[in-house]
Structure 1
Amino acid sequence: MASSDGAGRSLRADAQANHDRLLEVAAKAFAEDGADASLKAIAKEAGVGIGTLYRRFPTREILVEATYRSESARLCASAGDLLRHMPAVDALRVWMERFLGYLATKRGMAESLRAVLTNDDDLRLKTRGMLIDALGLLLRESEEQGTVRGGLDPADVVMALGGIALIAGDQDQRDLAGRLLDLLMAGLTAGSVQ
């Protein structure tokens, strides 16, 4: 995902790699340590100096928003990638696991992210639409392959995934989250043609 500097110019390849790596590391740090994750630790883990982090992301809130945008886009794009490499029902299950990871990152940034989304309702609605579209693609492909039942509303499935994340969203609850995803998948596949 190409980025630009403040003047709208494209970043050099090395600067783009630093940008992408910072966002990747920030997502992991926010998921593990919350919004108070150390920016120095993020820069160090990304292999850049703290000055590079601050040049790209002058405030914590800007880093949180960029991480949210990046993780949202990455998750949504992964639906098509997964479909190219595995049967649709398997792609659906893997995507749902990734969605839970995405929600863990989002939860870690909750306080800072709340301020960003309160000030930018369009971003919240656009992101929700992108997520529903990505899940809708996976459900349609699975339905066409006869592996999930027809007529499923992707917005309903997103809500079910959100419920799983509320119940079993912590890292130490991976087994429970997996079992709950299995139950959800059983409900989605019940009555499919298979």
Structure 2
Amino acid sequence: MKSSKSENKRPLRADAVRNEDAVLQAAKEVFLTSGVNAPVRDIAAKAGVGIGTLYRRFPQRSDLVASVFRREVDECAAEAATLAAKNSPLQALTLWLKRYINFLATKKGLAAALHSGDPAFEALPAYFRAHFEPALIALLSAAKESGEIQRDADPYDLLRAIGNLSVTNNEDDIQHTYRILNLLIKGLRFEEGTSETEK
């Protein structure tokens, strides 16, 4: 057990990094279609690695699920800055919130896993908020400064509101959530006053 712990602290070799990336990407795709309880052998086969390789890096299923979740959170949060650099503040905010909706919709079975009591998931809600809330704060702040939305919009309230809407990965439901998002954006703009062309 001691040697295993010390090995986990060492930097991964290039081939190990590639294997881990392949496993996480494969797990993401398998979880999307089959949920987080999909057979691990399916993930290993899709990643092109042996089942032993997968288990050495992720001894428990919960370790794999948590790693996929953190990777997806990182990618989604990082996209906020990319969108802000290429779009107007309100456009960047809207596009990122749609990206966030897609993130939630593709986490099939994750809600049940998070409430399973497994210690591997205990830190995930805090990780979620610690990455998404700053990303949304930056986008909201830019939109507020540009005068496009009202100044009392609360980022965590917005994250929770959209989270409550995003309960499945059904395409019709995602489109419905997009429509509700558009209503939310209009609501954010209303109190600040609309231009003559918008009335």
TM-score class normalised by the smaller sequence: 0.7 to 0.9
Rounded Cα–Cα distance in structure 1 between residues aligned with 2:24 and 2:194: 42
AA at the equivalent of 2:30: A
**Deviation of 1:161 (Å):** 0.6
Cα 1:117–1:136 shift into 2, 3 Å: farther
Cα 1:133–1:44 shift into 2, 3 Å: same
Q: Verify the 8 A CA contact 2:62 2:120 in the aligned structure 1.
A: no
Question: 1:44 is matched with which residue?
Answer: 45
Rounded Cα–Cα distance in structure 1 between residues aligned with 2:89 and 2:42: 38
Rounded Cα–Cα distance in structure 1 between residues aligned with 2:119 and 2:12: 29
Cα 1:171–1:19 shift into 2, 3 Å: farther
SS of equivalent residue, structure 2 residue 137 = helix
Give the 5 Å matches for 1:92-171.
92-115=93-116, 121-166=122-167, 169-171=169-171
TM-score, with structure 1 as normaliser: 0.82
Question: 1:22 is matched with which residue?
Answer: 23
**Deviation of 1:64 (Å):** 0.8
Bigger Cα Rg: 2
Cα 1:163–1:8 shift into 2, 3 Å: same
**Deviation of 1:142 (Å):** 1.5
TM-score, with structure 2 as normaliser: 0.80
Q: Verify the 8 A CA contact 1:147 1:189 in the aligned structure 2.
A: yes
Rounded Cα–Cα distance in structure 1 between residues aligned with 2:161 and 2:185: 11
**Deviation of 1:184 (Å):** 1.7
Structure 2 unaligned blocks of 5 or more: 1-5
Question: 1:54 is matched with which residue?
Answer: 55
Question: 1:79 is matched with which residue?
Answer: 80
Structure 1 unaligned blocks of 5 or more: none
Q: Verify the 8 A CA contact 2:63 2:120 in the aligned structure 1.
A: no
Rounded Cα–Cα distance in structure 1 between residues aligned with 2:183 and 2:7: 46
State the aligned residue count.
189
**Deviation of 1:109 (Å):** 2.6
CA deviation profile, 1:155-183 (whole Å, cap 9, x unmatched): 111121112213x6534423212212221
AA at the equivalent of 1:178: Y
**Deviation of 1:63 (Å):** 0.4
Identity, % of aligned pairs? Answer: 35
Cα 1:78–1:151 shift into 2, 3 Å: same
